[in-house]
Every structure is written in C-alpha cells, then in structure tokens.
Amino acid sequence: MALLPILCYPDPRLHTVAQPVQLVDARIKTLISDMLETMYDAEGIGLAATQVDVHERLIVMDLSGERNSPLVLINPEITWASQEQQVNDEGCLSVPGIYDGVERSSSIQLKAQDGEGRLRTLDAQGLLAVCIQHEMDHLLGKVFVEYLSPLKRNRIKTKMLKARRETVRA
Ligand code: QAP
Ligand code: CO
C-alpha cells in the first residue's frame, strides 16, 4: 500500500491521453489499491490514473458516505449518453479548492472491466453519472476547468500557480 502524489492543474501531464490497460495483472491490482488509498486519504470520490501520472485507462471511485464501496472501472467506454443534460457543481483532487458548474449528460450507459478484469455493463445517473464522465475526461487528458470560460480558467491557473509557489517556499 502506498500513497501516490496527485498531479495539480496546470501540470501539462494532466493532458496526456491514456492507453488501454492490456492485462489486469498484479501490477494493475497494486495500482488499484494504491489509487484507492490515495483517493480515501485525500477525501475524494473519484480518481483517474492520469492524476497519479499513470497514463492507462483506469478509474477508481467511491460515492458512499461510509467510504466502503469502491468502484473500479478499467477501459471504460460509454455506449449511450442521454440527450438530456444537467449542470452540477464539480471539484477535482487535481484542482483543490475550486468548484464550478459543468453541463453533462444526466444518464449514461457504459461497459468497463472491473478490478478482476471481468467485463461489466453499468447504468448510471445522478452523481455517479457525473463522476464517471468527469473521470473519463481525465483519461482523455481533459480537466473540468476546460469547460469553464477562459476568464475563469485563467484565474484558476494563476491561483494554482501562486499556491504552488507558496508551498515550495514554505
Ligand atoms: C470528481 O472529485 C467529481 O477541491 C471527483 O479541496 C467531483 O473527488 C465529480 C476534492 C464532484 C463530480 C462531482 C476536491 C477534495 C475532491 C477539493 C473529487 C478538495 C478536496 C474531489
Ligand atoms: Co478530477
């Protein structure tokens, strides 16, 4: 078990496109448990491998209040997305302290492999659908602030760079 460092926006590595996981082997299983540990430690509900600088199509999530219902999605593919969209406030472990509204499909269907490599289908709506779409964007190198206006995004970029300078100096 290990805590992995989380990349912070505007780190250019967050824009890397992830490659499919070829085989759910011991290396991937260790990565899954390290990512879950990292997500729980950071009090997040979702974490994509991209955020820990591993560029493979793997996501971990836990939307339960008890923090005891991990969900692992490997090589996720959306097979259907509702025309209906909804705006929800989102945050991101890679953009700490920033929350803003993003419009996404209200419900989705997807297929993905689970933590054992078995193929599953999943219907999602509400927060689960939002979180899956947010995390799948990370695998394509996209961070949620890219949906915001250039003005907001630049303010966030400046704020993050300033916060980083202050941590480096401290
Ligand atoms: C993605 O995000 C998400 O700013 C997961 O200071 C978030 O786990 C999808 C977090 C909301 C849908 C709705 C953010 C923790 C966690 C912060 C997270 C922070 C501490 C974000
Ligand atoms: Co995120």
| 85-141 per-position pLDDT tens digit | 999 999 999 999 999 999 999 999 999 999 999 999 999 999 999 999 999 999 999
Residue 33 burial (CB count, 10 A): 15
* Pocket flag, ligand 1, residue 92 (CB < 6 Å): yes
- Å from CA of 28 to ligand 1 middle: 23
Cβ burial of 82 (10 Å; 0-12, 13-18, 19+) is: middle
Q: Which residues are catalytic?
A: 135
Please state the pTM of the whole predicted model. 0.98
**Residue 20 phi/psi, 5° resolution?**
-60, 145
Most ligand 1 atoms within 8 A of CB, residue of 90, 92, 104 to mutate: 92
Among 128, 116, 138, residue whose Cα is nearest residue 13: 138
User: Which atom of ligand 1 sits closest to the CA of residue 46?
Assistant: 5
Confidence of residue 1 (pLDDT cuts 50, 70, 90): confident
